[in-house]
Amino acid sequence: GVIAIEQADAIILGPGSFLTSIMPPLLLSEVGRAIANNKKAKLIFVENLSPEFGPAGKMSLREKLEWCERACQGRQIDVVLGEEAHPELEEWNCVTTPLASPNRDWRHDRDKLHDAIDALLRN
């Protein structure tokens, strides 16, 4: 898995539960180091569409991004992809686009997410 990360053109964090899906792999030092060592890959954080409950729900998006970057040895996230604008997060490139499934607005539509990531990789 580490070799795949080091050779990837894109590394996508999320969507998913922050503390139980996104952070655990990043806490493995070899995974964080592999992400940090891959300078050519676009590192993309995909926001959840609905708020989380529990401890992750009390975290700001800024805190989540900082935790990810810290776990990746300071490697900056290139793009934050979501549906809401975040003018307060000027240190990150936040891209907003419709991502929700038409019949389940709390869930990402696969085609919309695919197309949004594809567009990011073409730029």
What digits encode the pLDDT tens for the residues 9-32?
999 999 999 999 999 999 999 999
Q: Is the pLDDT of residue 108 over 90?
A: yes
Give the pLDDT confidence of 81-107 residue by residue, as tens digits.
Answer: 999 999 999 999 999 999 999 998 889
Q: Is the pLDDT of residue 123 over 90?
A: no
* 8 exposure class (CB count in 10 Å sphere: 0-12, 13-18, 19+): middle
Q: What is the percent of the chain where pLDDT is above 90? A: 94
pLDDT of residue 106: 87
SS3 state at 27: coil
Q: Which two three-digit tokens encode residue 58?
A: 């009390």
The CB density around residue 77, as the number of other CB atoms within 10 Å, is: 22
The CB density around residue 106, as the number of other CB atoms within 10 Å, is: 10
Do residues 36 and 74 touch, judged by C-beta distance below 8 A?
yes
